[in-house]
Structure formats: C-alpha cells, structure tokens
Amino acid sequence: MSASPVLKIEGLRTDFRIGRHAISAVDDIDLVIPAGETLALVGESGSGKSVTARSVMRLLPRKLGMIAAGSVWFTGKDGQTRDLTKLDEDAMRSVRGREIGMVFQEPMTSLNPVFTVGEQIAEPLRVHSGATHSAALRTAIELIGRVGIPDPAKRAQQYPHELSGGMRQRITIAMALVCDPVLLIADEPTTALDVTIQAEILELLRKLQRERKMAMLFVTHNLGVVAEIAQRVAVMYAGRIVETGPVAEVFAAPRHPYTIGLLHSLPRLGQGSAMRRAGVRLPSIPGVMASIADMPKGCQFAPRCGFAADPCRVEIPPLAEVAAQRRARCIRWREIAA
Amino acid sequence: MLRYFAMRLLSGAGMLLALTLLIFILTRLTPGDPIDAYLDPNVPLSQEEVNALRTHLGLDRPLPEQYLAWLGEAARGNLGHSLQRFNETVTGLIAQRVGPTLLLMGSGIAISIILGVSTGVFTAVRRDTLPDFALSATALLGISSPAFLTALLGLYVASVRLKWAPSGGLLTPGAEFSAWDLLQHLLLPALLLSIGQAALIMRYMRASMLEVLNQDYVRTARAKGVREFQVVAKHALRNALLPVLTLIGSTIGLAIGGAIFIERVFNWPGMGLLLVSAVETRDYPVIMGATLVIGSCVIVVNILTDLSYALVDPRIKVG
C-alpha cells in the first residue's frame, strides 16, 4: 500500500467530564489501519476500547465526553486525508454512515422499533446521496440478500421485533455497509449473540470485508474472535494501548504481562475436566482494573503485575518497539521475552 | 379487528348504562326538585296544583320506574323535553350547544398538544439550560394552578386590563357573523383551557424524550449521518410519543371538566353552560341527556386513542 492508511490515530486523548473534573478515559492512543486490513482492539470492560472507536466517529456522550488531544487522520473515498477531530459538525456528519460505517453491540436495541428494516437500511443512502425512496429501498433489499437473509423483499417490509437477534445483526451490518464505506467500525458486534450465530456473523464480516477491501476496526473482549478476524491486534488496559502487533506474533509471544495474563486465562476446549480432576483452577489476573478516576502512579498495570518492580511505579512506561511492527508498554519486556 | 371493535363498543355501552344510572341516582339524591326551581315564588300554587304538576311530569312514580321509562325512551333516541323550557326537546337543546363546545374543546386540545409536544421536545433537547429551567418552572405553575384561577386571571389580564380579547360570548352580539370575530372570541378561552393539559403533556413529553434520546437506536441514527433535527424529529419523536398518547387520551375526559368551567367564566354557549344551568334548576332530562352525550364522547375518544397506538407503534396490533 503506497497510499496513506485509511485510519491513522495519533496521540488521541478523550476526556470525560465527571463533576467539575475532566478525566482521561483514553490517552496516548496510536493506531494505524491500512485499507483491507482488520485491526482488533481488545481489552476488558472499561479499558477504553469502545471510547476509542466512538472517538473516531465523534459519537461520544454529549457534554460528557470530548476529544482533548491528538488527531484522527482519515483518508476518504476521494483520497483526501483529513483530521476528523478538526471537522465541523456538518462535514463530520457526511463522514458518518457514508465513509465510515458502524455496527454496534446490541442488535436488539440498536434498530429503531417503529421503522421497517428496509427503511432503516435505505436511510443512509437517502441522507447522503439523495437517492429516491424506491431506489434506496431496492439497494437495501439487494443488500439484505447479500448479508445472508433469505426472502429479502419480504424481510425489508418487516419491523425489527419480527426478526431474530442474528438477523437483526445482519440488518445492522447491511445498514453500515449500504453507502460502501472505506472503514467499518464494529463495536463488539458478536458479544450479544449465541455462539453459533457469532461464528456466522464473523464469517459474514470477513467475507464482506474481503469483497469490499474495507479497513475494519473490530472492538472485542474475546481473544478467540481476534484470532478469527484480525491481522493486527492492539491490547488496551486502563485507557492505554499496552501492546500491539500482528495477531499471530502477539499471541505466540506476548511482550506485556497483561497480554500474557489474558492469554493464560483463556479456557481451552477439552481441558475443563482434566483441570477439575487435578484440582487446578483457570488462571486469572489478580485484582481489578484501576478506575480511570483513580489511576496509580507509573504503570497502570503494576498493582496487578507479577513482574512489577520499583521503577514501574515511577512513571508510565513508553510504548516501546520490541520487534518489527511490534510495540509493548513495559520496561521489563526483555525479561518477559526471555 | 371487527371483533375488537364490537367488544369495545359493547363495553362502552355498558359504561354508558352505568353512568346514566349513577347520574340518575345522584340527581334524585340532591335536595329540591324541578318544581321548586320552576315555580315563581310570587305566584303561589296550591298543594293540589303542585301535585297535579308532579303527576303530569311523572315525578310521583317510583324511581326505578322513572329510570326505566327514561332508558326506554333514550334507547329509541328520545331524550324527552326540558322541564324548564317546555317547548324545547333535550335533543334540540344539545344540538344547539354541542357545536360551540366541540369547537372550544377541539381548539383547546389541539393547542395543548401542539404546545405540550413542542415544548416537551425542546426542553428535552436543551436539557439543563436556561430555557429548559424556565419552561419547566412555567409548566409546574400551569399544572399546580387550578382552572378557576387561571381562567379568572387570564380573563382579567388579557381582556379586562389589556383588552386583547373580548371577555365572553361566542360572537359579538348584533354583529354580522365573521370567522375573525369567532376566532377572537375563541382564542382566549381555548388558550386558558389548554394551559393545564399543555403543561402536563410537556412534562411527560420531556421525560419520555430524554429516555428515548439515550436509546441505542438514536445513536445508530447519528452513526448513519442523519441530521440532528431528523434524529430528534423522526427517530426519537415517534418512539417518545407513545406514552404521551396514553396521557392525551386519558386527559381528554378531564378537559371536559375544564371546559365546563371555562364556558361558565366566558359565558360560552356550550354543553357545559347547559349542564350547569340544568343542574341549578334540577332539569333532570337535560342533565341525563347532556351526561349521556359527554360520556359517549369520552368513550369514543378512548377507543380512538387505542387505535392510534397501532398507527404509531408497529409492535402493537389491534385485534
């Protein structure tokens, strides 16, 4: 790829106002997603992965969240690269839904109950390209077929409550894709679904991304899903990226104690009964994540880290390059690697 | 659907029956009777003459018999004659009065819906700003002020002091009919009638809108690049209207009570005024007829409200 990446986030900081204080929900975020590539953003609840994704769209809760620093460079369909944090509301609106599509976690509640799904899929087309009602609806019906829903013409006339969870998620995917965006942001799109449906939706997203050569930012807390869908991964902890790199390398040889802990606490299929017999419990990371309102000094992970030493508690470690295309925010990464 | 309709009409008829029985008993329990009100104290009648009159009007028959007689006639569409104006039928009296009342109530309800919904949405969108506080405080005032206070105060300020509007009546007496004249007479009472309900609708609308604006599908609409105005007016409003619809439907009945009062204050020749004077003179047939008509209106409005849910919310199927 000689052209600029679709998305390049530099030094992003998003603050939330709590009372009179502004508290950083995410800080110092650097991410790059080239066209056709999927980056997975993983982390536990409250780590800031969704805030990062919504900062790109500038869809933070009004009056509460705001982007405080950094840039979000986005290269649109016209090849122009712009900083999304600097756009006015009108220009930003024309990016949403047209250049960047977004799929949300809750298919049950993210569709409007009083409009037919056909209308809801057609809406971005009508908003952005001024398509006529019937033309937009025709495109919507075609897309409903392509996201794997049988009898699309009939389904388009139905309301969300008449569809199953999996089908609704397919509808929200169609809605995000109807304007052919160059970037798809998927915010935990499979979390609320049954395991079998999860696999289908992942497969669908992978297929559509390949066909359309879209870039994708995939937010999840499920490491298994990361391995399925992404080429690169960024692990977040307490509002910062702690490790990033190609998925296979990070999973094979993690360089941050938090990533190691996450990987160790994954249950393995078929080992449950063996572990029970041996009296072994599934390993977990001790403690809980620090609240963003009350961050420890130094490395945020230090209080829960088995490797933590005194220098860790002095200042936040930089995101150091640990190999080609790989970075980790740990001053002791060499010892961990050994 | 047809079955549902039939059921609703049947239960409506049952409610009307209960209503007439209740009103019948209440009117007979009140002291005094039509003859006391009818007689001129300066022209004394002998007891025989009074008794003859009572027999003539059927007031000496046992109460159940009186009620059943009235019911039988009413079922055939005959609501009888006024006891105080012998040459007028109750149906005729109501027919003259129902138009002005519908006009006053209709305008009042329309104003309260428009005012309540728009300010409710506005204050929800501008939550915690100065206009929100100002309007919310005004609404609280509107809800807490009793109708007699707002009506008299409005009358005093707008027509006595400021002379913006005529102080009463349907039309300027003696003047030729003009729509403008009617509108001038209508506006003030309709506005005053709407205040309480508008305030109530606004508060419900604001709360409902605030809840809906936090819903995931509103965020989805924003993520699609829908204009903020459309997000509110299209995606949020239709969902937020549902609970408000229930409120509107159920307060129309209350508005009738308010209308009676406003009619009295503004000397508006409607059903309310008719009903009040009928109660004062113990004009039993008029009281019965007027409550029957008002009750039917409330029941019809409630059925229409239920039907309108199905229009706004596809998840509700009537039937």
Report how far apart the first and last C-alpha atoms of chain A are (Å, whole number): 34
A243-261: per-residue pLDDT in tens?
A: 999 999 999 999 999 999 9
Q: Which chain B residue is nearest to residue A62, measuring alpha carbons?
A: B214
Indicate the residue among A201, A230, A259 that finishes a domain: A230
Among candidates A140, A174, A175, which has minimal Cα distance to A157?
A140
A167 shares a domain with A133: yes
CB proximity under 8 Å: A 138-167 to B: 159, 161
Strand pairing report for A326-328 and A320-323: antiparallel
| Average pLDDT estimate for B270-292 | 87
A268 shares a domain with A198: no
- The pair of structure tokens assigned to B40 is 């001129």
Instruction: Say which DSSP state A313 is in.
Output: G
B94-312 domain in CATH 1.10.3720.10? yes
Among candidates A260, A264, A304, A259, which has minimal Cα distance to A282?
A264
Instruction: Say which DSSP state A113 is in.
Output: T
Where exactly are the structural domains of chain B? 94-312
Answer yes or no: are the C-beta atoms of A38 and A230 closer than 8 Å: yes
Of the spans B69-78, B236-245, B277-286, B301-310, which averages the highest pLDDT? B236-245
Q: Which residues of B touch A111 (CB under 8 A)?
A: 217, 220
Q: Which amino acid is at B20?
A: T
Chain B CB within 8 Å of residue A104 CB: yes
Asked if A159 and B314 come within 8 Å (Cβ–Cβ), the reply is: yes
A258 shares a domain with A219: no
Indicate the residue among A203, A230, A257 that finishes a domain: A230
The pLDDT of residue A296: 82
| Average pLDDT estimate for B159-181 | 79
A162-212: per-residue pLDDT in tens?
A: 999 889 999 999 999 999 999 999 999 888 888 888 888 999 999 999 998
| Average pLDDT estimate for B188-199 | 88
Residue A45 lies in a domain: yes
Asked if B222 and A59 come within 8 Å (Cβ–Cβ), the reply is: yes
Residue A235 lies in a domain: no
pLDDT value at A1 more than 50: no
CB atoms within 10 A of CB B200: 21
Strand segments, DSSP code E, in chain A are 7-18, 21-33, 38-42, 65-75, 81-83, 100-103, 183-187, 215-220, 232-237, 240-246, 320-323, 326-328
Whole-angstrom distance, CA of residue B149 vs CA of residue B156: 10
| Average pLDDT estimate for A135-146 | 93
Q: Which chain A residue is nearest to residue B235, measuring alpha carbons?
A: A112
B242-257: per-residue pLDDT in tens?
A: 889 888 887 877 777 7
A32 shares a domain with A105: yes
A296 shares a domain with A173: no
The pLDDT of residue A2: 47
Domain holding A207: CATH number?
3.40.50.300
When CB atoms are compared, the residue of A89, A106, A127 closest to B226 is: A127
CB proximity under 8 Å: A 55-84 to B: 57, 59
Residue A2 lies in a domain: no
* CB-defined contacts A:B, below 8 A: 71
Residue A236 lies in a domain: no
| Average pLDDT estimate for B256-285 | 85
Sheet strands side by side (includes A65-75): A21-33, A7-18, A65-75, A81-83
Q: Which residues make Cβ contacts (< 8 Å) with residue B68, sequence separation at least 6?
A: none
pLDDT value at B26 more than 60: yes
Chain B CB within 8 Å of residue A102 CB: yes
Q: Which residues of A touch B224 (CB under 8 A)?
A: 96-97, 123-124, 127, 175
Percent of chain A with pLDDT over 90: 58
Instruction: Say which DSSP state B278 is in.
Output: H
When CB atoms are compared, the residue of A98, A112, A172 closest to B225 is: A98
Owning domain of residue A102? 7-230
Whole-angstrom distance, CA of residue B100 vs CA of residue B114: 21
A324 shares a domain with A215: no
Residue A1 lies in a domain: no
pTM of the predicted model as reported, rounded to 2 decimal places: 0.81
Write the burial class of residue A173 (CB in 10 Å: 0-12 exposed, 13-18 middle, 19+ buried): buried
| Average pLDDT estimate for B145-161 | 82
A192 shares a domain with A87: yes
B107-150: per-residue pLDDT in tens?
A: 999 999 999 999 999 999 998 899 999 999 998 888 888 877 88
CA B209 from chain centre, in angstroms, equals: 26
Indicate the residue among A199, A230, A261 that finishes a domain: A230
The pLDDT of residue A125: 93
When CB atoms are compared, the residue of A89, A109, A123 closest to B224 is: A123
CB atoms within 10 A of CB A144: 25
The pLDDT of residue A131: 86
List residues of B whose CB lies inside 8 A of any A CB.
Answer: 215-217, 219-228, 230, 235, 238-239, 312-315
A291 shares a domain with A196: no
Asked if B216 and A106 come within 8 Å (Cβ–Cβ), the reply is: yes
The pLDDT of residue A338: 66
A252 shares a domain with A169: no
Whole-angstrom distance, CA of residue A169 vs CA of residue A174: 9
Residue A145 lies in a domain: yes
Chain B CB within 8 Å of residue A127 CB: yes
Q: How many domains does chain A have?
A: 2
Whole-angstrom distance, CA of residue A336 vs CA of residue B288: 92
Asked if B225 and A175 come within 8 Å (Cβ–Cβ), the reply is: no
- Residue B237 Cα, gap to closest chain A Cα (Å): 11
A203 shares a domain with A89: yes
Residue with tokens 């809108």: B209
